[in-house]
A and B are shown apart, each in its own frame.
Chain A
Amino acid sequence: MTPLLEVRQLTRKFGSLLAVNEASFTIQKGEVWGFIGPNGAGKTTTMRAIATLDLPDEGDVYINGSSVLVEPQKARQTVGFMPDSLGAYSDTTVLEYLDFFARAVGLEPAARKKRIDQVMDFTDLRPLAERMMKSLSKGMSQRLCLAKTLLHDPELLVLDEPAAGLDPRARVEFRELVRALANEGKGVLISSHILSELSEVCDGVVVIEQGKIIRAGGVKQLAKDVSEHELLFIRTLGSIDKLETTLAESRGVVSTRQEREGLVIEFQGSEEEISDLLASLVNQGLKPVEFHWHQVDLEELFLSFTDGNVQ
């Protein structure tokens, strides 16, 4: 099956700076992928190349099998790019802004009105229709930017730091919007510094550092890459030292590390052996109040892949 997005050996240099170095990854329809990396890692450069705003020095980007180098106009019909900040026109209302871009994407008058109504409803912008763009808050601007991005009903959404500057409520709303879009079958590539935000919506992640893709894959698969063993979390009443000592002597426990008020256990063994471990802990007088699989979040993944170089 032709992937919705295929970045193939993408390289972009700015003078002597190698911004993106042979980056390759793919996204299928209906998937949400996170694009994570430190500042200056090459995320925005890659996204701009996908959105046909920058030309790679080497490599190519394929949208539904079409090269952005050869058919940029075709790619633009398929891709919706949302930059990290909305460029606001002076003396223009929200409705006029959307109307302009609806005209720009070539919608006929009847279809234009219908589509503007749809995206305004979807992004909850209707009450702001007559507001001047310059007077919008950050959250409102981001919603407007998303509405503009959705006008031509793109199959692939490329969102560059969409949650930056949003308050917690707006973030939750935005996350829901992204999930809803994925449920409609759209592919989404989303970059963010707030990794906890991405964990909740992403099916996969691409980790980039110094222009090089260092990991790309499904979140579960990458979690397995972090540790080849099962990860368990346990919290007991009483001293954590006693728990640690007991676990060190238990069969199957490879390592432990403290997290919050409990321990994350790297365990080698079957589910039955996990059950035996819990039983032995109880038998030894420990009182477990939490015992479950430990979910590796994106922050952990990112830190393990990038040697902790978060910037």
Chain B
Amino acid sequence: MSWLLSFLDRRVNPVLVKEVRQSVRGRFFRTAFLFALAIAWITTVLVLQEIQGSRDQANGGRVLFLWLHGIFVLTSFIIVPQLANRGMAAEQEENTFDALITSGLAPAKIVAGKMMAALVIQLLFLCAFLPFLSMGFTLYGLDIVISFVLLLFTTAGGFGLALVGIQAACLAKTRASSNLMQGLFTLGIVTCSISWLGFSTGMTLEIGALGLTGWEFFFAVILSLLAWFLFLYWVFAYTVSTITHPEENSSARLRSAAILLSIGMLAGATTQLYFKPDAEGLNAWLVWILLLTAFFHLPSFTSKDSLGRRASADLSLKKWNRPGMGFFLKGGGRGTALFFLCLALPLLLFVFFPSLEARDIKNGALAPIATLLIILAVTGLPAALAASPKASPQKQKLWRFLILFSIPLLSLLAVLTGLLMGEVDAEHPLNAIGFIFGAFDPIHDEPSLSSGGVIFFGLFAIVGFLVGLKRIVRALQETRSTKRAIREGMRPSSE
């Protein structure tokens, strides 16, 4: 035991120790922890009382689990990410960040320490809830597999949001922008938690109740987690890069804003599932994962991305490193390869998930392919134009601005097109997103987009795809020439 303690004393990340110590002592955590426990206890008592009085006790376990899981979602998706976000923001606000950097701690270690601290806090919450949650298993109607998967997903989700919170805090340079990021982040996590509550309820009621937890389900779960952690690794890499180069984080800001925006949209799409909790809805959800991944990486195609170049130089000089980070930060061939890998994972999900409802592979795969084309059309074009060597700094800013707002613009276009065609209800703007999917999603019996609309988006798609492809080919060529230069003994330039 003493050996273990001694080992931990030597090896444990100092930032993890500091963060956990500060959080646990802080008033925010203590209040939230006690409050969550009290709510869990009261909820358990009330639900048990309700079940006892009820004639139908067959679903008692499920009902109790859903309530308690709901509280756990709120703590994981709101309190833990907020703690992580505030922890990093406080470093900037209280001038302690410089001390961290000059202490010799590698930026990756700082971010990792803060991430792990968020996980520890989350596990503390989970441990506190477990006795209450376990009561659900003594009652009827709770599928143990689904409940385990949900807890796993919620923990992974909270952990990921904490990392996004850390990155959001890294981006701001001024108090005003810090407040803005804080506001956006809070909005994002609240939306996420509501959405996830809806989705998890649907998952429990539909998949769990129907016993659809075969091997395909497990495969889908593993792929989902893998895609999520790949995405998080990406966020991690860019967070590290951002704090390594505080002087040059405009493109990282763009990415982070893109993440936040995408998360908000992902949440928006999944919110719909709350009202329609069936397995079909998973298609839309997975399409959004795909969109999120693609949207996040597209700005990397811009070769003038100075943060990426600086990060690349850092990696070349071995200033800091983590396995596989080159994939995420270096862009070019490897970055592109990873981009497609991230695309492929959700696609694989489509291969397996439709079998739950006996849908064929072709139908399942069509929606994400169509979505990818749309994304390339709307974001690939400005990304490629921003990367053009002839683009002036002002034009680059404009194109990057367009990347950032391409998805809302796409929605707007869809709404306008739908209005012109008389096929969308203007009073439900969220349906604009659904409208796009509806046009390509074969689940719907009748595609709601007219042939004119298909041509309209198709043209964008073709142009964007071709320009994007050209950019990828050029990146691959650059990578090859750099490799050749290295082989010939020349040092790759950081600029």
Cα distance A83–B96 in the bound complex, in angstroms? 10
Among A90-98, A169-177, A217-225, A253-261, which stretch is in contact with chain B? A90-98
Tell me whether B102 and A90 are in contact (CB under 8 A): no
**B22 contact set on A, CB distance < 8 A:** 89-92
Q: Mark B17-44, 1 if CB is under 8 A from A, else 0.
A: 1100110011000000000000000000
Tell me whether B94 and A87 are in contact (CB under 8 A): yes
Q: Does B229 contact A (CB under 8 A)?
A: no
Closest to B13 in A: A103
Tell me whether B96 and A73 are in contact (CB under 8 A): no
Q: Mark A164-204, 1 if CB is under 8 A from B, else 0.
A: 00000000000000000000000000000000000000000
State which residues 68-103 of B face A: CB under 8 Å.
90-91, 94-103
Q: Mark A291-307, 1 if CB is under 8 A from B, else 0.
A: 00000000000000000
Known: A77-B104, A88-B94, A91-B22. A70 touches B247 (CB 8 A): no
Cα distance A103–B96 in the bound complex, in angstroms? 16
Cα distance A87–B100 in the bound complex, in angstroms? 10
Q: Does B245 contact A (CB under 8 A)?
A: yes
Closest to B310 in A: A55
State which residues 61-86 of A face B: CB under 8 Å.
70, 72-73, 76-77, 79-81, 83, 85-86
Residue from A70, A79, A101 in contact with B317 in the complex, judged by beta carbons closer than 8 Å = A70
Q: Does B337 contact A (CB under 8 A)?
A: no
Main secondary structure of the interface of B (DSSP, over half): helix
State which residues 88-137 of B face A: CB under 8 Å.
90-91, 94-106
Tell me whether A89 and B18 are in contact (CB under 8 A): yes
**B470 contact set on A, CB distance < 8 A:** none
**A77 contact set on B, CB distance < 8 A:** 104
Q: Does A241 contact B (CB under 8 A)?
A: no
Tell me whether B21 and A109 are in contact (CB under 8 A): no
Q: Does A104 contact B (CB under 8 A)?
A: yes
Closest to A81 in B: B102
Residue from B14, B21, B94, B102 in contact with A52 in the complex, judged by beta carbons closer than 8 Å = B102
Cα distance A101–B14 in the bound complex, in angstroms? 8
Tell me whether B9 and A106 are in contact (CB under 8 A): no
Question: How many contacts A-B (CB < 8 Å)?
Answer: 80
Q: Does B444 contact A (CB under 8 A)?
A: no
Cα distance A72–B25 in the bound complex, in angstroms? 34
**A237 contact set on B, CB distance < 8 A:** none
Q: Does A108 contact B (CB under 8 A)?
A: yes
**A130 contact set on B, CB distance < 8 A:** none
Known: A87-B94, A91-B25, A92-B22. A52 touches B99 (CB 8 A): no
Tell me whether B245 and A53 are in contact (CB under 8 A): no
Tell me whether B247 and A83 are in contact (CB under 8 A): no
Chain B's nearest CB lies how many Å from the CB of A260? 41
Tell me whether B103 and A105 are in contact (CB under 8 A): yes
Q: Does B319 contact A (CB under 8 A)?
A: yes
Q: Does A58 contact B (CB under 8 A)?
A: no
Known: A72-B319, A90-B90, A109-B6. A104 touches B101 (CB 8 A): no
Residue from A76, A85, A89, A92 in contact with B104 in the complex, judged by beta carbons closer than 8 Å = A76
Closest to B6 in A: A109
Cα distance A250–B248 in the bound complex, in angstroms? 64
Q: Does B10 contact A (CB under 8 A)?
A: yes
Q: Does A4 contact B (CB under 8 A)?
A: no
Cα distance A133–B274 in the bound complex, in angstroms? 47
Cα distance A105–B14 in the bound complex, in angstroms? 10
Q: Does A51 contact B (CB under 8 A)?
A: yes
Tell me whether B102 and A76 are in contact (CB under 8 A): yes
Closest to A101 in B: B103
State which residues 208-257 of B face A: CB under 8 Å.
245, 247-248
Chain B's nearest CB lies how many Å from the CB of A156? 12
Q: Mark B306-319, 1 if CB is under 8 A from A, else 0.
A: 00000000000101
Closest to B90 in A: A90
Tell me whether B103 and A104 are in contact (CB under 8 A): yes
Known: A55-B245, A90-B22. A109 touches B94 (CB 8 A): no
Tell me whether B106 and A83 are in contact (CB under 8 A): no
Cα distance A55–B309 in the bound complex, in angstroms? 15
Tell me whether A73 and B104 are in contact (CB under 8 A): yes
Tell me whether A55 and B247 are in contact (CB under 8 A): yes
**A106 contact set on B, CB distance < 8 A:** 104
Cα distance A65–B415 in the bound complex, in angstroms? 63
Chain A's nearest CB lies how many Å from the CB of B250? 13
Most central of A87, A148, A152 by chain B CB within 10 Å:
A87
Tell me whether A87 and B104 are in contact (CB under 8 A): no
Closest to B113 in A: A104
Chain B's nearest CB lies how many Å from the CB of A126? 21
Closest to A70 in B: B317
Cα distance A105–B17 in the bound complex, in angstroms? 14
Known: A51-B102, A105-B104, A109-B6. A90 touches B26 (CB 8 A): yes
Known: A54-B247, A73-B106, A106-B104. A92 touches B21 (CB 8 A): yes
Chain A's nearest CB lies how many Å from the CB of B72? 25
Most central of A51, A70, A76, A88 by chain B CB within 10 Å:
A76
**B106 contact set on A, CB distance < 8 A:** 73
**A101 contact set on B, CB distance < 8 A:** 99, 103
Chain B's nearest CB lies how many Å from the CB of A291? 50
Cα distance A182–B96 in the bound complex, in angstroms? 26
Tell me whether A87 and B103 are in contact (CB under 8 A): no
**B101 contact set on A, CB distance < 8 A:** 52-53, 76
**B104 contact set on A, CB distance < 8 A:** 73, 76-77, 104-106, 152
**A148 contact set on B, CB distance < 8 A:** 99
Most central of B14, B248, B319 by chain A CB within 10 Å:
B14
Tell me whether B245 and A87 are in contact (CB under 8 A): no
Chain B's nearest CB lies how many Å from the CB of A25? 21
Tell me whether B94 and A89 are in contact (CB under 8 A): yes
Chain A's nearest CB lies how many Å from the CB of B11? 10
Tell me whether B95 and A83 are in contact (CB under 8 A): yes
Closest to A102 in B: B14
Cα distance A51–B100 in the bound complex, in angstroms? 12
Cα distance A208–B31 in the bound complex, in angstroms? 51
Q: Mark A143-164, 1 if CB is under 8 A from B, else 0.
A: 0000010001000000000000
Tell me whether A104 and B98 are in contact (CB under 8 A): no
Closest to A88 in B: B94
Q: In the A-B complex, list the 6 residue pairs whose CB atoms are closest, starting with the nearest.
A: A87-B96, A87-B95, A103-B14, A91-B25, A104-B103, A87-B94
Q: A81-B98, A81-B102 are in contact. List 15 more A-B contacts (CB 8 A).
A: A53-B101, A72-B319, A73-B104, A73-B319, A76-B101, A76-B104, A79-B102, A87-B91, A87-B99, A89-B18, A91-B26, A100-B14, A100-B17, A101-B99, A105-B104
Chain A: residues with CB nearer than 8 A to chain B?
A: 48, 51-55, 70, 72-73, 76-77, 79-81, 83, 85-92, 96, 100-101, 103-106, 108-109, 148, 152
6 interchain pairs (CB within 8 A)? A87-B94, A87-B95, A104-B14, A104-B103, A106-B104, A109-B6
